[in-house]
Structure 1
Amino acid sequence: MTQHRSIHWFRKGLRLHDNPAFIKACEQASEIYPIFILDPWFAKSANCRVGINRWRFLLQALRDLDNSLKTLNLRLFVVRGNPNTELENLCQRWKISRLTFEVDTEPYAVKRDEEVERQMGEMGIEVIKSLSHTLFEPQRVIKVNGGSAPLTYQRFQTIASKLGPPPKPLDAPTLESLLGCKTLISDNHEKEFGVPTLTELGKDPKSCGPLLYPGGEKEALERMERQLKKTNWICSFEKPQTSPNSLTPSTTVLSPYLKFGCLSSRLFYHQLADMYKGKKHSQPPVSLHGQLLWREFFYTVASVTPNFDKMEGNPVCRQIPWQSNPDHLEKWANGQTGFPFIDAIMRQLRQEGWIHHLARHAVACFLTRGDLWISWEEGMTVFEELLLDADWSLNAANWMWLSASAFFHQYFRVYSPIAFGKKTDPNGDYIRKYVPEVKKFPSKYIFEPWTAPLSMQQTAGCVLGKDYPKPLVDHSVASKANISKMAAAYNAAKKDKLNNASQNGMTAQNGKKRKQNKKDGLVQKKLKFT
């Protein structure tokens, strides 16, 4: 029996449970080298869109993974450098015969992995890929849908029901299952391959926010178990009924762990299914199962849509003439819009790396079609930097949705930056925490402090325009103007579609005429020679 020397390349799936690619690496292997490749240039690049809180989460997840591997007499190798170069060097150094990794559907990853497969093929190294980051294989969903991605959630649900439940999660390997499989490490392993610190990556640890959501598989599983103990809450969970501005999260906050693959979506899905059995429970799209299906829906569409994270060249995205306003964009990104509810959300995001789903709705609508008329691509870039759970597919899809550029088309439904937050936090406690400049305002004025008399502003120690910004826009005026702009953009798109259809019809009609003329000519030619 062939004894392999295997490399398992960790990327997103930073866990041991339900990791089929890692299990494949261990099968018939005498030596296993788990690696994570970290490009130092990427970490130090000025264009790097990874904020300090997400770097901290990643490094914690890697340390947790290394600790778990130690219990199996294995170790993690954190490699610095370009993936293609480093994989080639390590395969030669360790005399590797097999490389395994988890499938990644993002465009950059697909291109990178194709090159790696070609490279390994030339070296005579077996490559095994396994899908475990999503519930279903996107290409299978697309095939069942007739060869194209479903473009509505309802259609995706229909296809998912035909596929049946996702595969059951695999157990984490044990010492017994890895009998005879080991990692060989050198005396200078920590120096050469240890998990780096933030300082080593050129990041300032002091700029991190409070550690509310530690990274790693251990924390992911513990957090999931804590949530699953709340049976009634799990069964009655409806996302729209949760609070975007509660001082403690009103949802599971499992999204960062799903993003990095510290938690298997298949494990969470089946744990929920077990809890639902025999009980009355909420249903998709608002249930927790529904939230996982939203993730699948967007992953599927993103996997086959060109330029999914851009407006131009993106076939599912409406072309809308957004304006460029760097000053307004900067003030929005830093929580200085003059609308305390919006600013509180953006400050929480910058400090903690996570905000509620509906809070994301509010600030995304405000930046785009609601008030500032700035492109969703700009907001997506800010979220990509600051969110712990920044996910390429979900981030782009949600920004298109909230800007009414794709998936959602009721552009006239605009979130109020004043009234929306009042529904769940009438006293403004959330604002008082994250926008302390206005914390002494009475509840009557805290959502719109510019309406307070000057004497009251002075008493509260916050004069508008001096201690806290005046609103960037008049919401009632800006939102109405923007609804008109959206209507114009939609009408223009509709006219273009009709014109294209008309042109296509004329082209088809001309084609039929040409065919008929050709046929008539052949008939005339035949008659002539008969």
Structure 2
Amino acid sequence: MQHSSIHWFRKGLRLHDNPALLAAATDCRRLHPLFILDPSRSQAGANAQRFLLDALRDLDGSLREMGSRLFVVRGCPEEVFPRLFHAWGTTRLTFEVDTEPPARRRDAAVAELAARHGVEVIREVSHTLYDTERVLALNDGKAPLTYKRLQSLLASLGPPEKPAPALTREHLRGCRTPCQVSHDANYGVPTLEELGQDSTEVGPHLYPGGETAALARLDAVMERTAWVCGFKKPETEPNSLSPSTTVLSPYLKFGCQSVRTFWWRLDEVYQGREHSRPPVSLHGQLLWREFFYTAGAGIPNFDRMVGNPVCLQVDWDNNPQHLCAWREGRTGYPFIDAIMTQLRTEGWIHHLARHAVACFLTRGDLWVSWEEGLKVFEELLLDADWSLNAGNWLWLSGSAFFHRYFHVYSPVAFGKKTDRDGAYIRKYLPVLKDFPAEYIYEPWKAPRAVQERAGCLVGTHYPRPIVEHGAASKRNMGRMKAARTQKGNESPKRHRAPPAALPPSPRLPSSPPGTKQEPPAGPSMAESPRKKPKIEQC
């Protein structure tokens, strides 16, 4: 039987290593490659939506080269598919497995619709290195809660599968995609404005979306053999003026880049050479991705505090003013504000920069719920991957996986370790660009004459710190210790008023000088020592 197939793109916006797409083209006389823009699901801001539209245009261009086209339809999948099944005479629907709980519910509903319409459904795993359901089954249906436990489970499965062949014209021999002259008007990729976004809000186009850009970036990374072999993620710089990591995460998030292709390209580079090892190597970073995908699939309510069985129940403050200042880069701490400015304008920040601002918002300084930070990242990050975003916010807030809550990122000392002159701050906060290096991280300490020469008066042109870091972090450590002591008791009351704010001083004391680095994001179930912990600043 020759099928009339729909391949439903969601993530997996690529032609390489796409087994579900190959299944759609097998024994197929008519193929409709489909992407559904569901406005009810996306929380992404302008930068991320631009990336998605780039990826869709690139995908459509690649399909055109093979005599096919991409059909972009707007609406809820459960409402769209019955109409398309009928209009296109569909007999087969293929798509890539999505591990996120809301996506699983959506896919189950669509599969039920397909069955009622006599449409065969084929699902293929290719967004993760391993079949997440199989990993969970190996662990008695539970998510592994440590990196080592995940490694043990994966060792029993062997290496990840090799990538599937890329779609070629040969795969589409005898298969056509019906296109009308009105295709672009009816099924074309929309503009940002058509999605309700203001194109003036997007930042510089540093990371164009799409498979073509992804493969070019991967090739460029793989050419740096010594760098790839020596890569240790904790040793990269959070505030370098050009990225000190691969910036492949947005392409992996949207599936423009296959994670299995990335894994095996790395394996080729590693062969016969000395190289770093997990968890800090590039292979190790892909296993961290696998860890959080597995956790997100296996832990109920993974992206929230209440009802999440691994999450510490914390009585966070409800402080919209502090949250807004953090989001807009107006905390009065230049390192934090520069990071948040880069995030808003470019859509990407280094993972250690993410650690610093997440710690500052939650257990370090502002005591605002990690759920609020998660929402901001979901909107602003190009690579706002649901499982990784939730997992890392749980980690950095001290709510799950990581329990050494007395390790706090200093909003002053941490940035100085790799950028003492403050070049990063000067780039993203030009209002401070003329401050001497000795005051660039703490401009409130500069004498009035220095501020005047710099053309920036603290409290007028740039805000004073909204909290005093030393006092806030000490207070919050006590609150975190209390929350851990009460673990297992009834859930805390939500949305209580914050404690009285500490009035900032024009000459705040320096942060403690400690520079001990917090481990890379990922699970560690070690408990805190029995003796009273001391805040360790990095």
Do the structures match in fold with TM over 0.5? Answer: yes
Per-residue deviation, residues 137-186 of structure 1 (Å, max 9, x unmatched) = 11111122233211011111111111111000012121122211110111
Identify the residue that residue 63 of structure 1 maps to in structure 2.
Answer: 57
**1:405 maps onto 2:399 in alignment:** yes
Identify the residue that residue 318 of structure 1 maps to in structure 2.
Answer: 312
Identify the residue that residue 433 of structure 1 maps to in structure 2.
Answer: 427
1:421 pairs, out of 410, 415, 420, with: 415
Distance between the aligned counterparts of 1:189 and 1:93, measured in 2?
15
2:460 pairs, out of 460, 466, 483, with: 466
**1:329 maps onto 2:323 in alignment:** yes
For the residue of structure 2 that corresponds to 1:493, the secondary structure is coil
Counterpart contact for 2:432–2:440, Cα < 8 Å: yes
1:475 pairs, out of 441, 448, 469, with: 469
1:292 pairs, out of 271, 286, 289, with: 286
Distance between the aligned counterparts of 2:68 and 2:139, measured in 1?
43
Per-residue deviation, residues 305-356 of structure 1 (Å, max 9, x unmatched) = 1111000000010001110100000000000000000000000000000000
**1:83 maps onto 2:77 in alignment:** yes
CA-CA distance at 1:237 after TM superposition: 0.1
Identify the residue that residue 14 of structure 1 maps to in structure 2.
Answer: 13
CA-CA distance at 1:494 after TM superposition: 6.6
For the residue of structure 2 that corresponds to 1:177, the secondary structure is helix
Distance between the aligned counterparts of 1:31 and 1:276, measured in 2?
42
CA-CA distance at 1:123 after TM superposition: 0.8
CA-CA distance at 1:81 after TM superposition: 1.6
Identify the residue that residue 505 of structure 1 maps to in structure 2.
Answer: none
1:51 pairs, out of 45, 53, 62, with: 45
Q: Which amino acid aligns with 1:297?
A: F
Distance between the aligned counterparts of 2:198 and 2:388, measured in 1?
28
Identify the residue that residue 130 of structure 1 maps to in structure 2.
Answer: 124
CA-CA distance at 1:301 after TM superposition: 0.9
2:95 pairs, out of 88, 92, 101, with: 101
Identify the residue that residue 363 of structure 2 maps to in structure 1.
Answer: 369
Q: Output aligned runs, 1:3-42, within 5 Å.
A: 3-39=2-38, 41-42=39-40
For the residue of structure 1 that corresponds to 2:170, the secondary structure is coil
Distance between the aligned counterparts of 1:20 and 1:280, measured in 2?
33
Percent identity, aligned pairs only, is 60
Identify the residue that residue 297 of structure 2 maps to in structure 1.
Answer: 303
Distance between the aligned counterparts of 1:219 and 1:260, measured in 2?
12
Counterpart contact for 2:394–2:401, Cα < 8 Å: yes
For the residue of structure 1 that corresponds to 2:73, the secondary structure is strand
**Structure 1 gap ranges (5+):** 498-530
Deviates more, 1:459-468 or 1:252-261: 459-468
For the residue of structure 1 that corresponds to 2:487, the secondary structure is helix
Distance between the aligned counterparts of 2:107 and 2:283, measured in 1?
31
Cα–Cα, structure 1 residues 3 and 494, in superposed 2: closer, same or farther, change >3 Å? closer
Distance between the aligned counterparts of 2:145 and 2:181, measured in 1?
54
CA-CA distance at 1:495 after TM superposition: 7.4
Distance between the aligned counterparts of 2:47 and 2:484, measured in 1?
39
Distance between the aligned counterparts of 1:491 and 1:75, measured in 2?
58
2:266 pairs, out of 264, 272, 280, with: 272
Structure showing greater radius of gyration is 1
Identify the residue that residue 255 of structure 2 maps to in structure 1.
Answer: 261
Per-residue deviation, residues 243-291 of structure 1 (Å, max 9, x unmatched) = 0000000000000000000000000001001110111000011000000
CA-CA distance at 1:42 after TM superposition: 3.6
CA-CA distance at 1:49 after TM superposition: 2.0
Identify the residue that residue 503 of structure 1 maps to in structure 2.
Answer: none
Higher helix share: 1
**Structure 2 gap ranges (5+):** 492-538
Distance between the aligned counterparts of 1:118 and 1:42, measured in 2?
21
Counterpart contact for 2:47–2:346, Cα < 8 Å: yes
Per-residue deviation, residues 200-251 of structure 1 (Å, max 9, x unmatched) = 1121211110000000000000000000000000000000000000000000
CA-CA distance at 1:474 after TM superposition: 0.7
Moved over 3 A (4+): 494-497
Counterpart contact for 2:334–2:429, Cα < 8 Å: yes
Q: Which amino acid aligns with 2:23?
A: K
2:386 pairs, out of 389, 392, 402, with: 392
Counterpart contact for 2:336–2:356, Cα < 8 Å: yes
**1:172 maps onto 2:171 in alignment:** no
Give the root-mean-square deviation of aligned CA atoms: 1.2
Distance between the aligned counterparts of 1:365 and 1:203, measured in 2?
31
For the residue of structure 1 that corresponds to 2:149, the secondary structure is helix
Q: Which amino acid aligns with 1:7?
A: I
Distance between the aligned counterparts of 2:147 and 2:475, measured in 1?
30
Identify the residue that residue 161 of structure 1 maps to in structure 2.
Answer: 155
For the residue of structure 2 that corresponds to 1:315, the secondary structure is coil
Distance between the aligned counterparts of 2:33 and 2:434, measured in 1?
54
Distance between the aligned counterparts of 2:476 and 2:80, measured in 1?
50
Q: Which amino acid aligns with 1:28?
A: D
CA-CA distance at 1:399 after TM superposition: 0.2
Distance between the aligned counterparts of 2:326 and 2:141, measured in 1?
41
Q: Number of aligned pairs?
A: 491
TM-score, structure 1 as length reference: 0.91
2:448 pairs, out of 451, 454, 464, with: 454
Distance between the aligned counterparts of 1:112 and 1:366, measured in 2?
36
Q: Which amino acid aligns with 1:223?
A: R
For the residue of structure 1 that corresponds to 2:169, the secondary structure is coil
Q: Which amino acid aligns with 1:283?
A: R
